[in-house]
């Protein structure tokens, strides 16, 4: 095989053969193809796309670059994956909520890069909690509390690990074939029986347009079903942050409020909608709202945090400095942009620019007046949190909440379902 031929084939808009794809992914994983050639191919795929057969081949080749996990539990497994959003802490209440119904929820997750936070970073705000679990530990937790969230091991789709890092620095992340194959290679290799995808659409998401989000969702659902993983997707709004908090410890606090039967209405609505889909795919006929109300989900959360070394009763870290953003006039919040809030929270220290950077557990943003809220001049809109107050100005540069005279059109949280 000749890598230059393969790059030219895709550059000129033709399809790659199965043999070419298998060879490229294997050669790249084992450093026989250099970063510069793979970057050229990723850009060609970004510009030219891939047909369905190529996406399936690309996904399978990435799965085969590592090993597949398997669970012997005596109960079914179901996972949820979100394409990433600002304030998206849904995994935290959702895993224990579904596990409380006797379904195992294995969740292998990553750390956040850029303006959306990673689930592992959020959970690491819980004192003592650790993300690195061995496979026998995962198996024990699935048999016991029923849900874990852990760092994906080095052998789970290693080709994707390398390629994602390359895409991140070459402007080739937001390509439907590359996102779909990246996410689904890891989810299929994880060995889950069923998968619910939360595909975000809006300013804070990879997909800004509903039609693109729908295509991404359909591509992923088809990849899952072809691989024998029962799959469906919800298309959900990410034009404004989810809930009232953005940032690691702040989001854990809000997730615990949801598990205690409270929390913001949008977080509760999305948690329940995703839980219903997961339970349906797992063949369980129950209303998950009951397990939030009667404390079963909270009990499972506590058991799951404890099983990973965390102390569910320990106080969460708090940032050393805060600064309020006040309303400059009376009116309604008509704009609170997800990307702006995510970027500001990242600049406050809640996220990282390079994968080896540390994150501040307490940094982030509290939203006192969400989209649509009626406010009066001088009222607190947001509170910024950080350990490093020199970051306030950089965060404020990107934040521009809009106050208008009339209430905005109410947000549609769930735009539709693909199955």
Give the binding site for ligand URA (CB under 6 A).
83-84, 164, 173, 178-179, 182-183
Q: Which CB sits closer to ligand URA, 179 or 375?
A: 179
Other Cβ atoms closer than 10 A to 206: 20
Tell me which residue has its CB nearest to ligand URA: 182
183 or 255: whose CB is closer to ligand URA?
Answer: 183
Annotated catalytic residue: which of 22, 88, 121, 160? 160
Nearest to 250 by CA among 88, 419, 379, 364: 364
Which token pair is 79?
């996972």
Minimum CB separation of residue 6 from ligand URA in Å reads: 20
Q: Which two tokens stand for residue 173?
A: 């992340």
The full DSSP string for 296-362 is HHHHHHHHHHHHTT--TTSPPP--SEEEEEE-SSSEEEEE--HHHHHHHHIIIIIS-SSTT----TT
Q: CB of 372 within 8 A of CB of 332? A: yes
Q: How far apart are CA 13 and CA 15, in angstroms?
A: 7
DSSP designation for 207:
B
- The dihedral through the CA atoms of 183, 232, 119, 205 has a sign that is positive
Q: Is 182 a catalytic residue?
A: yes
> Closest approach of Cβ 394 to ligand URA, in Å?
25
Q: How far is the CB of 7 from ligand URA (least distance, A)?
A: 20
Nearest approach, Cβ of residue 257 and ligand URA (Å): 27
**Which CB, 111 or 276, lies closer to ligand URA?**
111
Quick check: is 186 catalytic?
Answer: yes
Catalytic residue among 161, 167, 230, 244, which? 167
**Residue among 10, 80, 81, 230 flagged as catalytic:** 81
Q: Would you say 396 and 344 are in contact if contact means Cβ atoms under 8 Å apart?
A: yes
Catalytic residue among 10, 101, 111, 186: 186
Strand-pair partners of 386? 321
- Selected catalytic residue, list 65, 175, 181, 182: 182
Question: b/e per residue, 173-199, with b = 16+ CB within 10 A?
Answer: bebbbbbbbbbbbbbbbbbbbbbbbbb
DSSP state string for 152-203: PPTTSSHHHHHHHHHHHTTT-SS-HHHHHHHHHHHHHHTT-SEEEEEEEEST
What is the nearest approach in angstroms of ligand URA to the Cβ of residue 160?
7
The residue (of 158 and 408) whose beta carbon lies closer to ligand URA is 158
| Least Cβ distance, residue 62 to ligand URA (angstroms) | 11
Provide the minimum distance between the beta carbon of 111 and ligand URA in the complex, in angstroms, as a whole number: 11
Neighbours of 169 (CB within 10 A): 11
Residue 173 or 227 having the CB closest to ligand URA? 173
Q: For ligand URA, give the closer residue by CB, 173 or 333.
A: 173
Which residue, 75 or 208, is less far from ligand URA as judged by CB?
Answer: 208
Pairing of β 78-82 and β 194-201: parallel
**Closer residue to ligand URA, CB minimum distance, 207 or 341:** 207
Structure tokens at 94: 């959702």
Indicate if 162 belongs to the active site: no
Instruction: Name the minimum Å distance from CB 285 to ligand URA.
Output: 32
DSSP 407: P
317: phi then psi, degrees, rounded to nearest 5: -60, 145
Question: Residue 101: exposed, middle, or buried by beta-carbon count in 10 A (0-12, 13-18, 19+)?
Answer: buried
| Catalytic residue positions, numbered | 81, 160, 167, 182, 186
């Amino acid at each position: 095989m000749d890598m230059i031929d393969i790059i030219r084939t895709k550059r000129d808009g033709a399809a790659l053969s199965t043999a070419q794809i298998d060879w490229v992914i294997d050669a790249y994983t084992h450093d026989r193809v250099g970063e510069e050639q793979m970057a050229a191919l990723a850009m060609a795929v970004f510009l030219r796309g891939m047909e369905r057969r190529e996406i399936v081949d690309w996904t399978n080749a990435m799965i085969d670059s590592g090993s597949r996990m398997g669970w012997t539990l005596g109960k079914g497994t179901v996972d949820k994956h979100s394409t990433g959003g600002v304030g998206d802490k849904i995994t935290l209440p959702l895993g224990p909520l579904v596990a409380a119904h006797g379904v195992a929820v294995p969740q292998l997750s990553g750390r956040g890069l850029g303006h959306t936070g990673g689930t592992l970073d959020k959970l690491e705000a819980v004192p003592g909690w650790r993300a690195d679990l061995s496979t026998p530990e995962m198996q024990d937790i699935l048999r016991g509390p029923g849900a874990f969230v852990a760092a994906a091991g080095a052998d789970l789709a290693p080709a994707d690990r390398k390629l994602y890092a390359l895409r991140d620095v070459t402007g080739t992340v937001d390509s439907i074939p590359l996102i779909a194959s990246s996410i689904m290679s890891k989810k299929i290799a994880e060995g889950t029986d069923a998968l619910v995808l939360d595909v975000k659409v809006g300013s804070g998401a990879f997909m800004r347009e509903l039609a693109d989000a729908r295509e991404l969702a359909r591509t992923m659902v088809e990849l899952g079903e072809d691989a024998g993983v029962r799959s469906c997707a919800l298309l959900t709004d990410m034009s404004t942050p989810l809930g009232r908090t953005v940032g690691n410890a702040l989001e854990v606090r809000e997730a615990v409020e949801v598990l205690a039967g409270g929390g913001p209405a949008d977080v509760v609505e999305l948690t329940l909608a995703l839980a219903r889909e997961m339970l349906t795919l797992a063949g369980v006929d129950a209303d998950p709202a009951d397990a939030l109300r009667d404390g079963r989900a909270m009990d499972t959360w506590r058991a799951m945090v404890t099983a990973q070394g965390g102390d569910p009763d320990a106080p969460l870290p708090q940032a050393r400095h805060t600064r309020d953003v006040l309303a400059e006039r009376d009116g309604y919040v008509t704009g609170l942009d997800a990307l702006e809030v995510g970027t500001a929270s990242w600049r406050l220290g809640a996220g990282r620019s390079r994968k080896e950077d540390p994150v501040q557990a307490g940094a982030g943003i509290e939203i006192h007046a969400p989209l649509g809220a009626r406010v009066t001049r001088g009222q607190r809109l947001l509170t910024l949190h950080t350990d490093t107050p020199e970051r306030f100005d950089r965060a404020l540069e990107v934040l521009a909440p809009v106050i208008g005279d009339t209430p905005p059109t109410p947000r549609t949280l769930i735009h539709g379902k693909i199955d």
